[in-house]
A and B are shown apart, each in its own frame.
Chain A
Amino acid sequence: MKKKLSFLSVIFSAGMLLAACGGDDSTSSEEGSSTDGEGSELKLLEDGKFTTASSGLYKPFNYEEGGNLTGFDIDIGNAISKEMGLEPNPVTTPFETIIQGLTTNRFDAVIGSMAITEERAKQVAFSDPYYYSGGVIFVREGNTEITSEADLEGATIGVVGQSTYDTAAQQYTDDENIQYYSSDVVALQDLTIEGRLDAVITADVVGFEAQNAGLEIEMIGEPLWIEQAAVAVRPEDKELLKAVNEALAAIIEDGTYDEISQKWFGRNLLDVDLEGIEILK
């Protein structure tokens, strides 16, 4: 018996070792940058590294291409980190639990297309917005039954859990008619299959990207509202929030932001006329 147990403990420690070698992180970036000055006084998960989370399921904002995390959010995160003199370390975690992940210190910030809402602001602190986007209803191409949000009553709507689109869907239809997904892209894909979903609510650019990929979907009417995506940090990390806001202002000022936005969307996402449009709270 004794022999057997010591044998097990050897395997056990081998397993631990194995895991320590490479199982720890979900995703890490290769891009390094010089670490100097500013970053050192911030309380970070890992010294000199700015660990930020997104779902990794929200093309074109954050997704995986050939094993690497990429997208607009990731580029913005990299630029902000660089500005702060920190090494960017983007990781992924399901959007449904991303706020809990932040408040339980799993990462330093969320840079994952999280829109500012009053509800979320009770749990996290938001930076200045880093882009504006429109919440939009998408339907299957050729659908003539749903032409405006008024037609959504009783319709089956697909959304990502805990997203702002989730809240909107709850206003338009009954709770039992909402279908939850972990990715907007998968929801849009499901929308193209007859008999599954009547509509998907998501960001305009996410739908456009899917259309470009050949999905037979169409947008209904105008954006329902404009929402402001921002970096989220823990409320007590006041220094970090200040540093993020300064870095964000700096990359907007020096043209880095415009460059990133042009690269992904061919336009500047902050360049939106906000007058007369409802801003989501």
Chain B
Amino acid sequence: MPEILVTVYDVFMRTYPGFLEATVVTLQLTAIGVILGTVIGLIIALMKISGSKILQAIANVYITIIRGTPLIVQIMFLYFGIVEIYTMSNFWAGAIALGVHNGAYIAEIFRGSIQGIDPGQREASMSLGMNRKQTMSRIVFPQALRRSIPPLGNQFIITLKDSSLVYIIGVAEIFSLGNREAAQSYQPFESFMVVALYYLVLVMIFTFLLRLYENKLDVDKA
């Protein structure tokens, strides 16, 4: 076996108990980031398609600020900025930053899916006597939801990988553990190779589960 594989294997064997713990933290960060992001995204998307100019303006400001600044800055901002009001743990600061960040992107996914439904369908259901609310909840949203699954899945994978950025505020997730291993073993290449493998396997599992879900929903035909 090539020597590099042997040393990567060594680092892996030495570090996996710590990495398994860190994987749990990474998954928790991702779960909160995704769920909070979906809730925020839904609210922002509804604000954007609502008739109210004020709600639209608020949503636009939110999306502009979040999409216009790097995630790492948002993490720092939450960790050190919000402390004036409330001191939250580094884990929660990181998780909430991920959620807030995701919210802006997921809002655009939802908005795109909703607005992508042919206006003709809306007209048709209106002409069948449904009001606006019924049209949306019975005709538009169910279709839009199916359409939003593939881009949402993509966003979830990005979140999983983005969660590595919270190492900057000292959360013991996969990347920060790799960083520490590199500083301990004088083997940065091997350490980050192991880190990469962890993310790769997690993303592959994620992708597989998403595919199952998509098949179940028949997203292809949406």
Contact = CB atoms under 8 A, between A and B. Distances in A.
Do A and B pair up? The answer is yes
Interface of A: 1, 5, 8, 11-12, 15-16, 18-19, 22-27, 56-59, 63-67, 91-94, 97, 100-101, 104-106, 182-183, 185-186, 188-189, 210, 213-215
Contacts of A104: 80, 83, 87
15 contacts: A1-B137, A5-B42, A12-B35, A15-B32, A23-B91, A57-B183, A59-B183, A64-B18, A66-B14, A67-B17, A94-B168, A94-B169, A97-B76, A105-B83, A186-B188
Contacts of A25: 89, 91, 172
B46 to A, nearest CB: 10
- Main DSSP-derived SS at the B contact region: helix
A19 B91 contact: yes
A214 B26 CA distance: 33
Interface in B160-179: 167-172, 176-177, 179
A183 B91 contact: no
Interface string B179-210: 11111101010000000000000000000000
Interface residues of B, number: 43
B36 A1 contact: no
| Residue of A1, A24, A26 with highest tally of chain B CB at under 10 A | A26
Contacts of B186: 185, 188-189, 210, 213-215
Contacts of B177: 64
A14 to B, nearest CB: 8
Contact of B183 (A12, A24, A26, A185): A185
Which has the most chain A C-beta neighbours within 10 Å: B92, B167, B180?
Answer: B180
A65 B180 CA distance: 9
B141 interface: yes
Nearest to B20: A67
Contacts of B171: 23, 26
